[in-house]
Amino acid sequence: MVLFWVFVLAISILLYVLLDGFDLGVGILFGLARDESQRRTMMGAVSPGWDANETWLVAAAVVLWGAFPKAYAVLLSAFYLPVLLMVTALIARGVAFEFRKEAHRTRWLWTASFAAGSLVATFMQGVMIGALVEGLHFVNGSYQGGVLGWLSPFALLCGVGLCVGYALLGACWLVLKTEGDVRDFAYRFIPPLAFALLGFLIAVFAYALVEDLPVLGRWLARPYLFIFPVIGAAAAIVLATSVRRRRDRPPFFMAELTFAAGFATFAISFWPYMIPFEITAEQAASPHASLAFMFWGAGLFVFPMMLLYTKTGLRVFSGKMVSSEGQYEGAE
């Protein structure tokens, strides 16, 4: 049961990163659009599935709360402020989706809410990831870092890095989904974003070497983990080649593969810890009876239905947009 729910949690987080990542990335680029026509097209490119994509964040939180309550309690204690800011930003972004198309005099406000909400939510997610990688402050197994225990230069660097990464995903999504000037707009951003992401990864690796972060030692002790960076590097090469040749489909899938490889690297390097390197999955897990009870409902029905719904939604809206109102050609 513990391994099953670890798997469900990992898949939920990964799907959230891959799916809502490009939504948030489009939102980050949204503030850089030149005119209203571009903004309508960008909004239409993500409108069919943005709320369904965010459902995976809810799923991850529910699994963490129900299956691993000790880890949930520690994470909420440590990241109360970042989580509050992230949720507030996601709410502002969601409201902007609904209000912006109806507003006239206040449209500028909802434009800013959509762009700023996407940027803040992404930055807070990156900060929390960075704080986990660097390590939280524990004393005798209890978190003692305080309200700002997550705040560090490395965490802030990771926040900026995730903004760059999500923006790259968003640009690749726009290339996949749109035509005309919006696609050209996205193509122009992919090379600088890719180079910025590469610079971020080099900076993170250098910081890990200088500060001798524990996660680096685990990479060296488990050489097979380097297969994932190799996969990510190969995907990046294919992405660069596709962009140079203006092939619309491969860049997005290669960018997603790069993110998946990075996620797998960190997830396996942290195992068996839920809170690196203090609380293991076994220590954080609910009693077996609780895990089994969840399995018969959420495990057998809710989780598979969410997977099916996600697959169906992506299939239905898999074609290119044909107008700024969010209409699609259909499955390709």
Report how far Cα 321 is from the mean position of its chain's Cα atoms: 24
Percentage of the chain exceeding pLDDT 70: 95
Contact status, residue 22 vs residue 166, Cβ threshold 8 Å = yes
Tell me how many degrees the CA angle 3-258-200 measures, rounded to the nearest 5: 110
Mean pLDDT, residues 27-41 taken together: 86
Helix (H) or strand (E) segment spanning residue 142: strand 142-143
Mean pLDDT of 112-138: 89
Strand-pair partners of 328: 321
Instruction: Choose the weakest-confidence range: 3-7, 135-139, 169-173, 283-287.
Output: 135-139
pLDDT(324) > 50: no
Tell me the mean pLDDT in the region 76-91: 91
For residue 94, being part of any structural domain is answered with: yes
User: Does residue 248 lie in a domain region?
Assistant: no
Residue 133 near residue 151 (C-beta atoms within 8 A): no
Q: Does some domain include residue 111?
A: yes
The per-residue pLDDT for 323 is: 56
Residue 290 domain-assigned?
yes
Beta bridge partners of 273: 280
What is the total count of domains within the chain? 1
Q: Are 235 and 258 in contact (CB under 8 A)?
A: yes
pLDDT class for 326, splitting at 50, 70, 90? very low
pLDDT the model gives residue 330: 40
Rounded Cα distance, 168 and 36, in Å: 22
Whether the predicted pLDDT of 131 surpasses 80: yes
What's the domain range around 7?
2-222+283-316
Could you tell me the two tokens for 213? 């972060």
DSSP labels, 204-260: HHHHHHHHT-HHHHHHHH-GGGGHHHHHHHHHHHHHHHHHHTT-SHHHHHHHHHHHH
161 Cα distance to chain centroid: 12
- What is the distance, to the nearest Å, from the Cα of residue 328 to the centroid of all Cα atoms in its chain? 25
Task: Supply φ then ψ for residue 115, to 5 degrees.
Answer: -70, -50
Say if residues 49 and 192 touch (Cβ distance below 8 Å): no
Confidence of residue 51 (pLDDT cuts 50, 70, 90): confident
User: Any long-range contacts for 317-321 (C-beta under 8 Å, 24+ apart)?
Assistant: 317/48, 317/49, 320/177, 320/178, 320/179, 321/41, 321/44, 321/45, 321/177, 321/178, 321/179
Answer yes or no: is 270 within a domain: no
| Beta strand 279-280 pairing with 273-275 | antiparallel
Residue 174 to residue 249: CA distance in whole angstroms: 10
In a domain, 236, yes or no: no
**Does residue 277 have a cis peptide bond before it, meaning omega lies within 30 degrees of 0?**
yes
Tens-digit pLDDT profile for residues 206-223: 887 777 677 767 777 777
End-to-end CA distance of the chain: 39
Q: Is residue 44 part of a domain?
A: yes
pLDDT band (50, 70, 90) for residue 26: very high
Q: At what angle do helices 80-99 and 50-67 cross, to 10 degrees?
A: 150
pLDDT attached to residue 306: 85
Taking 80 as the threshold, does the pLDDT of residue 110 lie above it? yes
Which range (14-18, 70-74, 92-96, 276-280) has the least confidence? Answer: 276-280
Give mean pLDDT, residues 271-296.
85
Q: Report residue 116 as tokens.
A: 């700023």
Instruction: Give the length of the chain.
Output: 332
Residue 318: pLDDT over 80 = no
Is position 269 within any domain? no
